[in-house]
Every structure is written in structure tokens, then in C-alpha cells.
Structure 1
Amino acid sequence: MSTVAASVELVEHARAANHPLPDAVGRALASSRIIEAAPDPYVAGHWVLKAGSKVGAVSVTVPDAEPVTVRIIPKVPMARLFFLLGYSLDPRGWRDGQVDVAEHREVLPALAHAFERQVDRSIRAGLLQGYRTTEDTALVVRGRMREAEQLRRRFGATLPVEITYDEFTTDIPENQMLRAAIDRLLHLPGIPRAVRARLLHQRTRLADVTPLTRGQRLPDWRPSRRNARYQHALHLARTILDGASVEHRPGGLRIDGFLFDMNKVFEDFVCVALREALRSYGGRGVLQAKGVHLDEDARVRMRPDFVWYNDGHPGRPLAVVDAKYKAEKGSGYPDSDLYQMLAYCTALGLSVGHLVYAKGNVPHAGHRVREAGIVLHQHALDLDQLPDGLLADVNALAGGMAVGCT
């Protein structure tokens, strides 16, 4: 009889593999759609597991069974993944080699390490301070009296006083975001002991900052000169807190962890990098363009990944791009991608469309659609190169798009 695995390691988009698992854990993984999971028809207590585009780690806990941790390793080098992520979050503030994550094979330890280092750089010179508006009840007037509240609550009594005042404090949105992201990481499985110790140290430095409660809206902060030293850490904090974590607790089942969807990581990088590369050509790049419909009655909505609009004629599109995180197979790219791009071009009134893939056997392929006069281009970006080379390829793609639009 096989020993049940306490830890399972998979590789993104690798071939399916057989692993011994409690049936409850296997069913939980199958229903969560984190990976593909199906019971082995030939071996009892074994499950056939296959990772898709999600990378990271999750811990699955069911009643009367040991927790099982599933780790999904990305195909791209860790440094490349964090370049794609970092550039998408902050293209102008990104610098190569900001944090060395090459020592880590897994996403979550690398993310925790990178974030802790950024937090340390941000607050090394002291915590950022700012003014926070506070409403209070006091025996002395401080700041301004809230007259309406005084009348409503005190019925004309002079004491206590309902007041509002601006307090200069470290308990501001920027520090609250950092504290919340640290708290989240400390609750996730698979954080190395040394990184966890450093995160605890950073949380101690933020001890006077109000922690966020479950379900509370994230603090709102805006980039400025005042918080410039915080911004890269804040972008990473947003990634940690904003919809990228996995946490399900139906009944006695608990799934907890953190995952990146490589489809979105690649899509965000391509769109942000193209927007930056096209700035020198004028126009306006829009990610996840809204207001695009296939039909004249505007009932069939479409959401292209990237649309480049003409500044001189607002609303007039110049180019459309869709990013696909998939490698070309022997038979080529899926025909469905071409049909989708054809629909985008038709709806936008464009004669050219661009599909950008993560990898391919040839760097470019073009297809002229019969009876339509529309040309569909398929481009391949090789992620297995240094950032400067990857950005140079995006710049070349942008230049070709700009020439085709003039």
C-alpha cells in the first residue's frame, strides 16, 4: 500500500503524473480547478494530477487527514517571472536586479523574499508619515467641532464634544498595505524560516499600524513624490492582497495558498510593455478595452487585451493586440485564436490584427483572410532571454505595428 503524499510537486503545463492522495484531497483539488485532478482508474488511492497555467503553492486540509501541500513550479526561470511581474506593475520604476530571487525554485518563497527585501528598502529610513483625518469624542475641542453630530448625539449639551482633526501619524494607507501583505504572507504555507523571521521583524517595525480585518476594503493610496520610496513594495503588496490568493473553507475543508496565473502575468506584461513602447509614436494604449461590441445592437461585448487609439481622432482605433500564453505546437497555433482576432478586427474596423504568443517555432506568421482584406499576424516572444532582449523584441513589435498604421 502506497504512502499518502504530504507534499506534491508539479511543473506548469508538464505531463500528468500519478500521486497517492486521500480521496477527499483529490476531490477538493478537482473541484477547486487549481489543477486537473482525476482518480487513477487502476490504482486505488492514487490520483492523476496535471498543472495548467497557475503556479505557486496551496495547502489542502480535510478532516481526519494530514494537510497536503501542492507546489507548482513555473517553466520560466524565477528571475524572468519576477521581471514580467515587476515590469507590469511598475514599468518606469522597474530596475533589473532589484531583488535576487534566483536562489528560489518556487514562487511563494521567492515572492515572500522579494517583498520583504522591498519593504526593508522602503522603511529603512523610517516609516512614512502623513495626515489622517480622525473623528472622535473628547472633553476638549481639538481641530473642528462636528456641529451636526453634536446636536444629534448631545441634544445641546456642551460636553463631551464631537470633533474632527488631522493627525500626523504613521497609521496611513501605505503602511497599512505593507502590514496587511506581511500578515497575509505569514499565514501562507511554504515560507522559508529565514524569510519568515525577516517578515516578523518587518511586522514589528509596523506594530503601530492598524491591521486589516478579513473582508475589509484595501486602503486607497496614490503614487506621489512623498511615497516614491514605497511604490515598488506597494505594487507587490497589492499583488499579494488583491485577488491572487486562494482561500476556500467549505465545511471542514480548507484550501489556503497563493497562485499566479501565468496567462495573466504574460498578458499584463505584453500589454504594458506595448503601451510603453508605443508612447513615442503618439496615440493612446488601452488595456482590456471597454465599449467594443461585435454587433450593431451592442449586445455582444468584446474585451480585446490591448487597443491602440488615435489621439487626433478620439475613439478611432489604430491597432488591436491579444496576448496568448501558449507555445506553438507542431500543427501551429490554434485556429480559434485567429477567429477571435478576426472578430476584433471586424468590430473595430481594422484591416490588421496582432496575436502575441509566449513562444513559437518561427518569430512571425501572417494570414490574409479571404474576401475580407484583413491580415492577421502571429508573433512569438521568447521569454527565455534577458529582460533587455525581451523588451527590445517588444519595441520591434511596436515599431512594426506603428509602421503598419501609418
Structure 2
Amino acid sequence: MTVPVPDVVLHEYGPAVSAPLGAAAGRALAASGILQSATPDPTRDGHWLLRAGSRVGALRTLGGPVVRIMPKTPVSRIFFLLGFSLDPERAWRDDREGTVDTGAHDDVVPALAHAVERRIDAALRQGVLQGYREVEESSLVVRGRIREADQIRRHFGRTPPVEIAYDAYTADTAENRILRAAVERLLRLPGVPGAVRRRLAHQRVRLADALPVVRGQELPRWQPSRLNSRYQPALRLCEAVLRGSSPEHLAPGADPLAVDGFLFDMNQLFEDFVTAALSEALEEHGLAPRLQDPHHLDTAGLVRIRPDLVVRGGDGVTPVAVVDAKYKVEKADGRHNADLYQALAYATVLGLREAHLVYAAGRQPTRFHEVRGTATGTDGRGVRLYQHSIDLSREPRQLMAALRDIAGRLTRACSPA
């Protein structure tokens, strides 16, 4: 009788945990770059010290245990951040609080599987979406148009068969293929509850006419339209599932077959949420936010910098504010000196008197540092570097209010004195 290997539970940015791992599984985890660190435990043979960083979710190592990484942010709040950053037009978010149904689950993968299944079920409630798709095939009868070049190259002018192309009305659309790919991906993940797994299997049957997407293959492309509007919330969430399961999230050179699972990168998720929410608020004030706006630090153009958000004035050209989002653990002294140097570089290059850093750092009040030797103008004020904090454990409305306050501070800084 095979004894099941217990899961290894880590906590986001938590202390290292000594876990029983074979050498191959330990090396695969270390090479993946998923964890902050993975090293042999010097005090216990056959054990590795594992420490999680910003990625949360679950993964399985080849021949090793399931590693579950628990977030410090409530799961329901993670899905609020995800929904906002996935769909700035709010189609994905519920009308009331911008939340999504994650069931009673407090772990990332079970909540994700439940949410995806519910969204797919809602998308398919009016039936499986069908559309026209061009089909090319060899046939004994003529249908559509003859592909003359292929006919000559393959059959030297002989008929039948005939190389034809025609438009087929089918359920094998890009939208259905993405939904099916996400369902199959979730069914392979560790930690999906049995009841949710059964509902996902039912959705796979409903999507059986859509061809499967081969892992590693580029996802089919779809365009938002009136016809697929009921699918759009599910599509955006399914694409997030498939991106979070992609080998592209591994370190260069890591074997994607040795480590398998689903992970959210909280660094990226927080950055996407902050920039999307601030952009929406700033546009209401007639400003033009630009995400990942590229610039150069030096006059030779050799050192590139890319602030998370550069706010441009009503002309769409003149920079008036700059923001960088930082999902970090607060240090003992409450400061992040390297971040301040980075913000000062942004302000200097863009010719601004302020730069703003937004942290996921609890209830710390907004504070600023005035940089020595940078005083200009009649007021004698130097460049100010602002540090804002938002508490991700707060309710969605409170989060949005905090970001609107930051947007108001940016707007006031842009206004002429």
C-alpha cells in the first residue's frame, strides 16, 4: 500500500520550512525560480529548506510532494485585484463590490477552480457559442472553393480527392477552445476539491466539440464582440489560469515538466491593480496615464528606465506625475532606500518635483522625503518623494477610496499653483 506524501505548506514571504524532498525534486524546485530559496537542509538528510516569495498557489514536483503557498492577502481580495486588472471596462467584475464567487475556499487553487467553473457555467447557460471557421481539407466532393495550388502540388491535377476550403459553422471556436483548455488545466492541478472537479468535468463534456489546445502552443486569438459578450468574463479569467500555469513563469533553463502547478505572482498582480485603478481615476480628471512608459536615464540612451505609471497632461505629451507600485514586506525601519533612489531618478529624468511610491504595506500613513540640494522655484521646495500605503485586507470599496485619494493628490500636484 502506497503511503500518500503529505503536502508541504509554505506562507508567502514566510520563514523557511524543512520539507522531505528527493534530490531531483529539490533541484527542480531550486532551478524553477518559483520559490525565494530552495536549499538542502544541513541538519536533516533528505530534507530541503523551502522559502516562498511573492508567488502563491500550488505546484507539484516530479516525484515529490505538492507544495502549497498560502497568501498573506485574503483570497477574496486577490480575486478582486485580479478582476480589476483583467478587465478595466468592468465586464468581469460583479456590479456590487467587484468581487467574484470563490465559494468558501480560503486557498488559492480551490477558490480559482470554483470561480472558473462558475464563470464558465454562466457563459454556457444560453448554449455553447458557435461561429464560422475556415476549414481546409481533402474531400471526395467539392465544397466551398478548390485550393488550386495545393491540388496541383499534392495530386498533380488528378481528382478526386479535391483540396478544398470552406467556412464551417461550428463550436470549435477560439472562445470555446480557451474555456476547454482552462478546464483541462484545472483538472490536472493538485488541490482541486472533488465536488468542483466533478463540475469541471461536466463543463468539459459541454465543450467537447472544441479542439484541445496543446500545452506550450499559443492560445487562440479572440476579439470582444456583441456575440461573445456573455463569454468575456469567463474568457479573461481562463486566460489568467493558462498564463499562471505557463512554463514562461519559470526561470530560464528550468524544466517545465519537472515542476507543474498554478501560481499568482503577487508583485505583478498588485502592480497591475494599482496602475489600472489609478489610470481609471486619473482619466476622470482629464489626465492621460501611460503604463510602463519607456525613458532613458542617460543622455547617450544606454540605460533604460520604465516607470509603472507616467501621468501626462491634457495635451497627452507633457509628463506631470510618476508612480511606481511596490508589493513588498515592510522593513524594520519602515523605509525602502533603493525605492527612493529609483523614484528620484524618475523625477529627475521627467523633470518633476514629485514622485510617488505605492506600497501594499498596511496602515502606514502617507509620508514624504524632501531631497536635499534640489530646491528650485520661488517657494524653495525641493523634490519630494511620497510613500503611500494601501491595506489589501480592507474591503474593495475602502481600497478604491484609498487609490482615489492618491489620484486626487496626483491631480493637485499637476494643477498650476
- Cross-structure match for 1:124: 125
Is residue 136–residue 166 contact of structure 2 (8 Å, CA) maintained in 1?
A: yes
| Partner deviation per Cα, 1:318-352 (whole Å, 9 max, x = no partner) | 22111001243331221000111111122222221
State the Cα distance separating 1:112 from its structure 2 match.
0.8
Structure-2 separation of matches of 1:5 and 1:204: 31
Q: Structure 1 residue 89 and structure 2 residue 68: aligned?
A: no
Aligned equivalent of 1:400: 409
CA distance in 1, matches of 2:42, 2:156: 75
Using the TM superposition, name which of 76-85 and 163-172 deviates more: 163-172
Structure 2 partner of 1:391? 400
- Say whether the 8 Å CA contact 2:363–2:390 is kept in structure 1: no
Matched residue SS, 1:229? coil
**Superposed displacement of residue 99, structure 1:** 3.5
Which residue is equivalent to 1:14?
Answer: 14
Whether the 8 Å contact between 1:5 and 1:20 is mirrored in structure 2 is: no
1:135 aligned counterpart, secondary structure = strand
CA contact (8 A) 2:38 2:51 kept: yes
The counterpart of 2:261, out of the listed 243, 251, 257, is: 257
Q: What does residue 370 of structure 1 align with? A: 372
Matched with 2:183 is 182
Following TM superposition, by how much is the alpha carbon of 1:310 offset from its aligned partner in structure 2, in angstroms?
A: 2.9
Any residues of structure 2 matched to 1:235-246 within 5 Å, and which?
A: 235-245=236-246
Query: How far apart, CA to CA, are the structure 2 residues paired with 1:253 and 1:174?
Result: 27
Specify the alignment match of 1:27 in structure 2: 27
**Which structure shows the bigger proportion of residues in strand conformation?**
1
CA RMSD, 1 decimal: 2.4
Name the CA distance, whole Å, in 2 between partners of 1:48 and 1:226. Answer: 51
Alpha-carbon distance between aligned partners in 1 of 2:27 and 2:317, rounded to the nearest angstrom: 48
2:28 and 2:330 mapped to 1: Cα distance? 32
**1:380 & 1:68 partners in 2: Cα distance?**
37
Distance in 2 (CA, whole Å) between partners of 1:401 and 1:322 is: 13
* Partner Cα separation in structure 1 for residue 108 and residue 10 of structure 2: 12
Distance in 2 between the 1:253 and 1:184 partners?
14
C-alpha change, 1:374 and 1:133, in structure 2 (3 Å) is: same
CA deviation after TM superposition for structure 1 residue 39, in Å: 2.7
Matches within 5 A, 1:356-367: 356-367=358-369
Alpha-carbon deviations, 1:58-89, whole Å to 9, x = none? 11123xxxx31110110111111111111111
1:107 maps to 2:108:
yes
AA of the residue aligned to 2:66:
T
Deviations 1:93-147 (A, max 9, x none): 2113754325212111111111011000001110111111222333443333334
Are positions 1:58 and 2:51 aligned together?
A: no
Decide whether the 8 Å contact of 2:32 with 2:255 is kept in 1.
Answer: no
Percent identity, please: 53
Cross-structure match for 1:300: 303
Asked if 1 retains the 8 angstrom alpha-carbon contact of 2:244 and 2:264, the reply is no
Deviation at 1:243, TM superposition (A): 5.0
In 2, distance between residues paired with 1:286 and 1:251?
Answer: 36
Which residue of the partner structure matches residue 352 of structure 1? 354
Aligned match for 1:71, one of 51, 64, 68: 68
**Which residue number corresponds to residue 203 of structure 1?**
204
Is the 2:361–2:389 contact (alpha carbons within 8 Å) kept by the matching residues of 1?
yes
Judging changes above 3 Å, is the alpha-carbon distance between structure 1 residues 271 and 250 closer, same or farther for their aligned structure 2 residues? closer
Aligned residue for 2:263, secondary structure, equals: strand
Distance 1:182 1:4 in 2: 26
Residues 302-326 of structure 1, C-alpha deviations (whole Å, 9 max, x = no match): 12111222342x4322221110012
- Structure 2: state its 5+ residue gaps: 375-381
Partner of 2:339: 337
- Alignment-mate amino acid for residue 235 of structure 2: L
Q: For residue 213 of structure 2, what is the aligned residue in structure 1?
A: 212
Shift of residue 159, structure 1, vs aligned partner: 4.6
Is the CA contact (8 Å cut-off) linking 2:80 and 2:100 kept in structure 1? no
TM-score, length of structure 1 as denominator length: 0.91
Shift of 1:355: 0.4
Q: Distance in 2 between matches of 1:317 and 1:323?
A: 18
Q: TM-score, normalised by structure 2?
A: 0.88
Number of the residue aligned with 1:321: 323
Output one character per residue of 1:221-267: Cα deviation in whole Å (capped at 9) or x when no partner: 11122111111111111111125445989789721111111111111
CA 293–251 in structure 1, closer or farther in 2 if over 3 Å, else same: closer
**Which among 257, 266, 273 is matched to residue 269 of structure 1?**
273
Give the aligned residue type for 1:117: R
Kindly tell me the number of residue pairs found equivalent between the two proteins.
398
247-256 vs 234-243, which deviates more? 247-256
Classify the secondary structure of the residue corresponding to 1:217. coil
Q: Is the 8 A contact 1:59 1:255 kept in 2?
A: yes
The reply to whether residue 310 of structure 1 matches residue 307 of structure 2 is: no
Distance 1:339 1:244, change over 3 A: farther
Cα distance in 2 for residues equivalent to 1:329 and 1:232 = 38
Q: Give the secondary-structure state (helix, strand or coil) at the position aligned to 1:203.
A: helix
- Residues 138, 161 of structure 1: 8 Å contact kept: yes
- What is the Cα deviation at residue 48 of structure 1? 2.6
Equivalents in 1 of 2:406, 2:398: separation in Å?
Answer: 12
Task: Give 1:38 shift.
Answer: 2.5
Extract unaligned runs of 5+ from structure 1: none
Check the 8 A contact 2:79/2:100 in 1, yes or no. no
Q: Matched residues in 1 for 2:16 and 2:215: separation?
A: 36
Q: Is the CA contact (8 Å cut-off) linking 2:29 and 2:38 kept in structure 1?
A: yes
Separation in 2, partners of 1:333, 1:191:
40
